[in-house]
Amino acid sequence: MSKVLIIGATSAIAIACAREWAKEGTAFFLVGRNARDLDDVRADLAARGATAQTHVLDFAATETYPAVFEQCFAALGRVDIALIAHGSLPDQKQCEADADIAMREFMLNAGSVIRLLTLLAARMEPQKSGAIAVLSSVAGDRGRPTNYLYGSAKAAVTTFCDGLRAQLFKSGIHVLTVKPGFVDTPMTRGLPIPGILLAQPRTVARDILAALKSRKGVLYTPFFWRPIMWIIRMIPDGVFKKLNL
Ligand SMILES: NC(=O)c1ccc[n+]([C@@H]2O[C@H](COP(=O)([O-])OP(=O)(O)OC[C@H]3O[C@@H](n4cnc5c(N)ncnc54)[C@H](OP(=O)(O)O)[C@@H]3O)[C@@H](O)[C@H]2O)c1
């Protein structure tokens, strides 16, 4: 039976992944900020044949992070797959107007992920097996005027994961960086996104599971975001700064 840790377990993408893993009778340790929502996820997975324990985490209380892993490893014994999925899409204009909001959002989207990954890596390394999937974003590939606070946080996560992948490879642990484009989740609700560019969480989840199986390092999902982001990265700076992307 696989042992799966999910941080940000109430995320729509995380739930879609968990439902796929639940088909294999997985044992989950689910971490999130809202006890009632976590319990709904737990019940949903139990109805699909899995077992799950929950842990409520206040992501701002960084001193409580070690307890997450104490309890997770006490409950599961080992972690075969860890998925880090929490994140928020801040209002860029608010971040420009208030440096405290900007830093709070940066700390959630980058700082908390890096802190959790640092603690998790130390716990997983002695296992000499397992995989960690981290939800970054295509937004981290180039800073855009409409979301560069979020983009810079995801860039930090992506670069951290590049290094962590090379570091943990020596211990037999795989690190997957997931770069979704637009996904139809509460995070994007109400945004003016053309339907053709909006993927369903289930599609992204299946891509994540396949990428973990093939031990891919970086996943663009859906696949067409890889060439789109290549083009966006290639636009000369003199042109890019005149576009309102
Ligand atoms: N949707 C997209 O288009 C898209 C694209 C690229 C990357 N991503 C990334 O994919 C990951 C999952 O997002 P999603 O699309 O599945 O969105 P989602 O369904 O809105 O999930 C967001 C998750 O982050 C948690 N969260 C939000 N704000 C938080 C805060 N201040 N403190 C602690 N937890 C917080 C949410 O908890 P609650 O349930 O308690 O609110 C939820 O678990 C995120 O890292 C996101 O950046 C999403």
Q: What is the tens place of the pLDDT at every residue in 152-189?
A: 999 999 999 999 999 999 999 999 999 999 999 999 99
Residue to mutate, 19, 33, 150, ligand 1, most ligand atoms under 8 Å from C-beta: 33
Rounded Cα distance, 223 and 229, in Å: 11
Instruction: Measure the CA–CA gap between 117 and 240, rounded to whole angstroms.
Output: 33
pLDDT digits (tens, 9 = 90+) for 19-64: 999 999 899 999 999 999 999 999 999 999 999 999 999 999 999 9
DSSP 3-state of 30: strand
Q: Can you give the pLDDT at residue 1?
A: 83
Residues with CB under 6 Å of ligand 1 are 8, 10-13, 32-34, 37, 59, 85-88, 108, 135, 137, 180, 182-183, 185-188
Domain boundary assignment for the chain? 3-240
Architecture per CATH, domain 3-240, reads as 3-Layer(aba) Sandwich (3.40)
The first and second tokens of residue 108, run together, are 């959630």
Tell me which residue of 175, 104, 178 sits closest to 140, measured CA to CA: 178
% of the chain beyond a pLDDT of 70: 100
Instruction: Report the pLDDT value the prediction gives residue 187, as an integer from 0 to 100.
Output: 97
What type of residue sits at position 193? I
**Over the stretch 179-235, which tens digit does the pLDDT of each residue have?**
999 999 999 999 999 999 999 999 999 999 999 999 999 999 999 999 999 999 999
Q: What is the pLDDT of residue 11?
A: 98
Residue whose Cα lies nearest atom 2 of ligand 1: it is: 183
Cβ atoms of 74 and 49 within 8 Å: the answer is no
- Mean pLDDT within 101-130: 98
3-state secondary structure of 71: helix
**pLDDT of 244:** 77
Rounded Cα–Cα distance for residues 92 and 102 (Å): 8
Beta-strand pair 51-56/81-84: unpaired
- Residues belonging to the active site: 150
